[in-house]
Copies of this chain bind each other. A is one copy, B any other.
Amino acid sequence: MKLAIDAMGGDNAPEAIVKGAVMAAEERKDLEITLVGDEAQIKPFLKDLPNISVLHTTERITGEDEPVRAVRRKKNASMVLTAKEVKEGRADGCISAGNTGALMSAGLFVVGRMEGVDRPALSPTLPTQDGKGFLMLDVGANVDAKPEHLLQYAVIGSIYAEQVRNIKQPRVGLLNVGTEDGKGSDLTKKAFELMKDAPINFIGNVESRDLLDGVADVVVTDGFTGNVALKTIEGTALTMFSMIKETFMNSFKTKLAAGLVKNDLRGLKDKLDYSEYGGAGLFGLAAPVIKAHGSSNDRAVYNAIRQACQMVELNVTSTISTTLKDIKAKEEQE
């Protein structure tokens, strides 16, 4: 199995990327990794392993680059060359912790769509209180989704949750403004009807206030709403941590308390840290493309690599494609 990894993307690149890759390569001898980026910057963190090679380039896409333009113009950027390894068959999948929008563009324009999928979806696994986590898709690849897109996300998410996350008959919910059938916008009402008949364990509408309680294993939504929900969770959690920190500075008494619970609260923060669940899949492309979190450390990169390996080994891409083609064929028959 071969993976291409953008060594230059993310806040801690190339160090965290290279170290994460080394961890994975040392563990799995059957895995061949191509690190794409500036050799001079990569080398200091690299070990001499037979299954890691470097594809040298100095060009890179930054967080400030306009995604579509960057992918089109910076033809030798590490991220673009990473995607090209997949496109040209030298890798089975790829990973980047860089500019999310640019990776979506590189996925779409370089790797290309999977047959049967109209629009790819960005799909992180988010934390729940019980530690199991849930998959949410789409969180921003496609901000003007149609009902058929949501149906496809539901099928994709269900297959991924079952095969890669080992959840039997994953509960698939549609993010909506109420839990009753018939609730919602034109989009969600129509998507509901389609999802009802799909070969998935559809549990109906779910509300965003129940997400972190694990109300569903797969939460389906359009890219606009999903992006807002994701960033609201992040923002609310960060604000609360900062308010708690402030609260602990109130008095001598609270400072004393802070000393006593510091470690336990750090554990709480880790529990809410979704880099532990691997990267966000860019589903619906011709091969596995994983967006590792921008702030990924070596452990998170290692987790993203494991995730990509599982997707390749279990042939998730082809299962999704076959299932979606079956659904389309059935529709046309009816």
**B247, A254: Cβ atoms closer than 8 Å:** no
* Pick from B129, B213, B240, B264: contact of A237, CB under 8 Å: B240
A140 surroundings in chain B (CB, below 8 A): 177
Instruction: In the complex, identify which listed stretch (A24-32, A40-48, A223-231) lies at the interface while the others stay far away.
Output: A223-231
- Total interface residues in chain A, CB < 8 Å: 54
A329 surroundings in chain B (CB, below 8 A): none
**A242, B129: Cβ atoms closer than 8 Å:** yes
A177 surroundings in chain B (CB, below 8 A): 140, 143, 223-224, 227-228
Q: In the complex, what residue of chain B is closest to A188 when comparing beta carbons?
A: B224
Given contacts A144-B185, A244-B244, contact A207 B231 (CB under 8 A): yes
**A261, B247: Cβ atoms closer than 8 Å:** yes
A129 surroundings in chain B (CB, below 8 A): 239, 242-243
CB contacts under 8 Å to B, within A213-251, are: 213, 221, 223-225, 227-229, 231-240, 242-244, 247-248, 250-251
In the assembled complex, the Cα of A251 lies from the Cα of B264 at a distance in Å of 10
**A143, B208: Cβ atoms closer than 8 Å:** no
Given contacts A210-B235, A260-B257, A264-B247, contact A228 B229 (CB under 8 A): yes
Copies of this protein, total: 2
* Pick from B210, B223, B235, B254: contact of A209, CB under 8 Å: B235
A118 surroundings in chain B (CB, below 8 A): none
Instruction: In the complex, identify which listed stretch (A2-10, A265-273, A284-292, A299-307) lies at the interface while the others stay far away.
Output: A265-273
**B235, A211: Cβ atoms closer than 8 Å:** yes
**A265, B239: Cβ atoms closer than 8 Å:** no
Tell me, yes or no, whether A112 is within 8 Å of chain B by CB: no
A238 surroundings in chain B (CB, below 8 A): 209
Tell me, yes or no, whether A326 is within 8 Å of chain B by CB: no
Tell me, yes or no, whether A1 is within 8 Å of chain B by CB: no
* Pick from B212, B260, B268: contact of A235, CB under 8 Å: B212
In the assembled complex, the Cα of A305 lies from the Cα of B233 at a distance in Å of 32
* Pick from B213, B231, B258: contact of A208, CB under 8 Å: B231
Q: In the complex, what residue of chain B is closest to A240 when comparing beta carbons?
A: B240
In the assembled complex, the Cα of A251 lies from the Cα of B262 at a distance in Å of 13
Tell me, yes or no, whether A49 is within 8 Å of chain B by CB: no
A60 to chain B, nearest CB (A): 20
In the assembled complex, the Cα of A265 lies from the Cα of B265 at a distance in Å of 14
A210 surroundings in chain B (CB, below 8 A): 235
Can you give 29 contacting A-B residue pairs, CB < 8 Å? A129-B243, A143-B177, A175-B228, A177-B228, A185-B224, A188-B224, A207-B231, A208-B235, A209-B231, A209-B235, A212-B235, A213-B235, A213-B239, A225-B225, A225-B228, A228-B232, A229-B229, A232-B233, A240-B240, A244-B268, A247-B264, A247-B265, A250-B264, A253-B261, A254-B260, A254-B261, A256-B257, A257-B260, A258-B261
